[in-house]
């Protein structure tokens, strides 16, 4: 039986099934950092179970795509670890509400066109020239030069700035409205460098393995560590400001 015939036999008269590459194309519009290794990793973790052809090729339904969107949204927007996401999916499968009191992302239905209502592409694949960064972020040329001198912003490719540089510039512009200057932000760079060193030690054993699954797990670990660090930092700031605010 040919591969096309096997797929048709697997799909039957039901909805068309997609290859892993086709699924990746649909998801990357909203989640640009998604890779084939990431999709395989999520399958290995039991978060999605695509069908298999007799030859072993993965074939995904639109329900599988919606499930992957649920996972990726929960990771991106809520920084949830895979264990929690797995529990939420299990609760959804049973028709129950997940426990824990968290607001969960919706398991959005998608159709053959791949459209998702109100979905906006994430900006992680931004590439901005210097003039574009200045115009869009709100920082001026002299401020950008100072940020680069202090090591707060750097180009990732010759003459181009990525989404992280854009986010930093926007944050600096916002803080400047309250009187904070780039020189006041050195402590942020120092603290971030310390965290990077600590987290790099945690993912180093995975990165040393010559295995795509291990590297995917390293990327997931790094993402979860960043999310947890952001939550901790925010909570510490809120707690520290209670006394000045008289709360």
Distance CA 116, CA 119 (A): 6
Give the pLDDT score at 96: 62
- Residue 44 and residue 65 share a domain: yes
Domain, as residue range, for 68: 7-93
- Residue 83 and residue 15 share a domain: yes
Tens digit of each residue's pLDDT (9 = 90 or more) over 58-101 = 999 999 999 999 999 888 877 777 888 888 888 888 876 544 44
Question: Is 105 part of any domain?
Answer: no
Q: Is residue 145's pLDDT more than 70?
A: yes
Question: Is 114 part of any domain?
Answer: no
Distance CA 126, CA 135 (A): 14
Is the separation of the CB atoms in 102 and 132 below 8 Å?
no
What backbone torsions phi and psi does residue 160 show, to the nearest 5 degrees?
-125, 145
Mean pLDDT of the chain: 80
Mean pLDDT, residues 18-27: 91
CATH number reported for the structural domain that contains residue 24 in this entry: 1.10.1660.10
Question: Is 25 part of any domain?
Answer: yes
Is the separation of the CB atoms in 122 and 31 below 8 Å?
yes
Question: Is 1 part of any domain?
Answer: no
- Residue 87 and residue 51 share a domain: yes
- Residue 18 and residue 86 share a domain: yes
Which residues, other chains included, contact 75 with Cβ-Cβ below 8 Å and sequence gap of 6+? 85, 220, 223, 224, 227
The rounded Cα 15 to chain-centroid distance in angstroms is: 29
DSSP label at residue 60 = B
Give the pLDDT score at 15: 59
Question: Is 44 part of any domain?
Answer: yes
Residues in the chain: 247
Give the pLDDT score at 108: 47
Exposure of 167 in the CB half-sphere (CA atoms within 13 A): 8
- Residue 228 and residue 210 share a domain: yes
DSSP three-state, residue 10: helix
Total structural domains within the chain: 3
């Amino acid at each position: 039986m040919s591969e096309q015939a096997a797929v048709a036999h697997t799909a039957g008269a039901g909805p068309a099934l997609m290859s892993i590459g086709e699924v990746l194309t649909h998801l990357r519009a909203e989640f640009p950092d998604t890779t084939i290794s990431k999709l395989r990793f999520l399958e290995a973790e039991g978060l999605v179970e695509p069908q298999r052809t007799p030859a072993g090729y993965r074939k995904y339904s639109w329900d599988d795509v919606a499930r992957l969107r649920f996972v990726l949204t929960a990771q991106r927007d809520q920084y949830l670890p895979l264990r929690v996401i797995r529990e939420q999916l299990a609760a959804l499968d049973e028709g129950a509400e997940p426990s824990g009191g968290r607001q969960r992302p919706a398991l959005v239905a998608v159709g053959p066109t791949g459209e998702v209502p109100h979905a906006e592409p994430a900006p992680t694949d931004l590439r901005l020239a210097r003039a574009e960064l200045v115009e869009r972020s709100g920082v001026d040329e002299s401020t950008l030069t100072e940020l680069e001198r202090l090591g707060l912003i750097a180009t990732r490719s010759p003459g181009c700035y990525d989404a992280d540089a854009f986010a930093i510039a926007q944050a600096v512009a916002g803080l400047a409205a309250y009187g904070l200057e780039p020189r006041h932000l050195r402590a942020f760079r120092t603290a971030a460098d310390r965290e990077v060193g600590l987290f790099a030690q945690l993912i180093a054993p995975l990165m040393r393995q010559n295995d795509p699954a291990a590297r995917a797990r390293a990327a997931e670990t790094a993402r979860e560590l960043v999310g947890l660090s952001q939550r901790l930092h925010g909570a510490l700031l809120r707690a520290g400001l209670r006394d000045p605010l008289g709360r």
